[in-house]
Structure 1
Amino acid sequence: METVNPNSAFLSNFEVMQILQQLKDNTQKKHKREGSLATVTYETVRYLQDTECQHQSSDCIKKFLESVKSFNLTKLEKLMMVNTPPRTELEIQLIVQESEERLSEDEVKQIIGLVNEFFPQSSS
């Protein structure tokens, strides 16, 4: 596998997990590949299964991204919110550059509400 255009798109943890699970499934169906690739794939999928992306779907991610369009967030800020959904004002400040100037208190609360709506916390 090679990177054709490294700047063509950013992938969320959910998308990476889907790709690696498909790669893992294809590797098991076909012949054994190099041990190091299988190990990296296995360890990465195992790690991602313990993160928020385990409980996400492409549908909830699309709906979340659509709902935060009005906040003028950068692509990277949105990606960070999908990968590590902010649940407090402090987490928003860590994700959004110059958040105090760019977002009102009400907007911060709206974003947290959207995060909780589309990415509910798992009970595990």
Structure 2
Amino acid sequence: MEIVNANSASLSNLEVFKHLQKIKDSKRKHRGQLATITYETIRYLENTPCADETNESVKECLKALAPFNLNKTEMLMMINSPPITALEIQLMVEESEERLTEEQVQEILEIIVRYFPYVVMKEADEEDNESQE
């Protein structure tokens, strides 16, 4: 098999998760490697932010992020792993110090919290669990 165009499309974790759930729920039962890969990937994605995302929250978040002139890859990273700190945004956005002001970084964090509030709650729960140990 030959890959004609490796960059023809990028899928978010939510899109992959929904597609794999359709495969799993289909009446046609898959065997062997496809069934194993489907099962393991679904198990992994259930423990990521995409399990709580909706198509609408992703679309609205992308619209809200549009004024920041982020490229597709940067936006996809923010959807797949929503940042909760300025440092995470710096890691996701190439040359973020030159492209974004501190106020813009704070605006991005507010947008993420607005459309993905469960991410902040999960992170706070994990930090509480670590401090109790």
Q: TM-score scaled to structure 2, two decimals? A: 0.84
Equivalent in the alignment of 1:61? 58
RMSD: 1.7
Q: Unpaired segments of 5 or more residues in structure 1?
A: none
The sequence identity of aligned pairs, in percent, is 50
Cα distance in 1, alignment partners of residues 80 and 42 from structure 2: 14
Cα distance in 2, alignment partners of residues 70 and 76 from structure 1: 15
Q: How do 1:94-109 residues align onto structure 2 when only pairs under 5 Å count?
A: 94-109=91-106
Q: Unpaired segments of 5 or more residues in structure 2?
A: 123-133
Is 1:45–2:36 an aligned residue pair? Answer: no
Q: TM-score scaled to structure 1, two decimals? A: 0.90
Is 1:110–2:84 an aligned residue pair? Answer: no
Q: What is the SS of the residue equivalent to 2:59?
A: helix
Task: State the 1:10 CA deviation.
Answer: 0.8
Equivalent in the alignment of 2:13? 13
Is 1:70–2:67 an aligned residue pair? Answer: yes
Cα distance in 2, alignment partners of residues 100 and 81 from structure 1: 17
Aligned partner of 2:62: which letter?
Answer: L
Q: Which structure carries more relative contact order (alpha carbon 8 Å, separation 6+)?
A: 1
Q: Across the two proteins, how many residue pairs are aligned to each other?
A: 120
Cα distance in 2, alignment partners of residues 13 and 64 from structure 1: 15
